[in-house]
Amino acid sequence: MFYHNYPFDPAYGHDLTALLRITAPEEPVDFAPFWRDRYARARSVAVAPVLRELPSPQPQTRVFAVEFTSLDGVRIGGWLTRPRAEPVERGVVVSHGYGGRDEPDFHLPFKRTALIFPCARGISRSACTAISSNPLCHVLHGIERRETYILGDCAADTVWCAASALLELFPVATQRLDYLGISFGGGVGALALPWDARFSRVHLNVPSFGHHPLRLTLPCVGSGEAVRNYQWQTGRALETLRYFDAAVAARHLHIPTHIAAARFDPAVPPPGQFAIYNALAGPRELFPLQTGHFEHPGTAAENARLLDALAYFFNRTEPPALS
C-alpha cells in the first residue's frame, strides 16, 4: 500500500473486509466486576482540582495549567481550556498518545466548551521518578499483576478522575460530557468509558490495546513490541492483559462511538484497532484511515476530513445508527 522500510507488513495481510471480520477474544468471567470496582474507587477520590492561568496563543481561548488527584493520591497534571468571552455549556476530556503532550489542542470542533487535557501518570506534566516516560517501559509497569498494572491507574488519571475534576470546575458540563483519545488514549478510553455513565459520546483514534492474544503475534514499532518481548521472555503477559483488552471492554460500551481506525499502521496493528470497533455494543461510526502513525502525501487532507467528521458527530443531536 505504501513504500516503507519496516521488516514487516504494517497492513498485516488484511484488507478492509478482513479487518471488519475480526472478533474480540473471550472475556474473563470477572472482567466487568474488576473494572466496576476500579471505577468505584476512582469516583471516591477527592480530586481537588487547581488551576493556574497561562499565556494563551489563541485570543479567544483561555489556557490553564491544571492539577488534580487520582488513585493512590497521585497528583495529575495537564491543561484546561475554556472560551474567553462565551459561557461554558459542555465539557470534553481529551487524552494523548504514548508520545505524551506538550500543549492543549486548539483545533478541535467544540464551541462554548471547557476541555481538559490530562497527562497519564509518568508522562509529560505527570512525570515522576517512579514511572518511566519511555513507552516501552511505561507499558510494562506493574504488569505482573492485574491490580498493579499501570493501565488501570491511567484509566483513572485520564478518564474518570479527569472527568471528576472538569465537572467540579464546571458543573454545567454534566449536561454534556464527551471524550476523545488517540492511540494510547484511545485504548485507555475504550477500557474506562463503559463503566462511566457521565459521558455522552466518544471518539477513539487508532486505539491501542485491542485483542491482546492477536497483538502478541504481530510485530510492531510501538509499545506493543515491548509487551511481545515480555510475553516471549516470561510467558505471563496474558494473565494480566486479558483484563486490559480494549476489544473486550468495547462489548460493554453502549454510548455513540466514533472510531478512526487505520488499515496500515506500524505502531498499533490494525487488526487490534478494528477488533475494538467491531465489538462495540452501541451506535458506532467508522472513519477508515489510510494509515496511522505513518505520514503520507494525503495525511493532511485525510486529517481535515476527519475533523469535519468529528464536528458532525459531536455537534448533531441524533445518535448514529447501529451498524
- pLDDT higher than 70, residue 297: yes
Return d(Cα 219, Cα 13) in angstroms, integer. 13
Residue 95: inside a domain, yes or no? Answer: yes
pLDDT score of 120: 98
CATH of residue 226's domain is 3.40.50.1820
- pLDDT higher than 80, residue 187: yes
Percent of the chain with pLDDT strictly greater than 70: 98
pLDDT band at 146 (very low <50, low <70, confident <90, very high): very high
> Into how many domains does the chain fold?
1
**Domain boundaries, position 64:** 20-313
Q: 194 near 252, Cβ under 8 Å?
A: yes
Decide: residue 26, CB within 10 A, 0-12 exposed, 13-18 middle, 19+ buried: exposed
Q: How many helices (H) and strands (E) does the chain have?
A: 12, 9
For residues 72-95, give the mean pLDDT: 98
Residue 26: inside a domain, yes or no? Answer: yes
Give residue-wise pLDDT tens across range 266-283. Answer: 999 999 999 999 999 999
Residue 105: inside a domain, yes or no? Answer: yes
Nearest to 89 by CA among 197, 177, 193, 202: 177
Residue 8: inside a domain, yes or no? Answer: no
pLDDT band at 318 (very low <50, low <70, confident <90, very high): low
| 267 vs 1, more confident | 267
Residue 50: inside a domain, yes or no? Answer: yes
Q: State the residue for C-alpha cell 492474544.
A: 213
- pLDDT higher than 60, residue 323: no
Residue 7: inside a domain, yes or no? Answer: no
Residue 264: inside a domain, yes or no? Answer: yes
Dihedral in degrees, nearest 10, Cα atoms 157, 158, 160, 163: 120
Residue 112: inside a domain, yes or no? Answer: yes
pLDDT band at 2 (very low <50, low <70, confident <90, very high): confident
Return d(Cα 179, Cα 193) in angstroms, integer. 9
- pLDDT higher than 80, residue 317: no
pLDDT band at 316 (very low <50, low <70, confident <90, very high): confident
State pTM to two decimals. Answer: 0.96
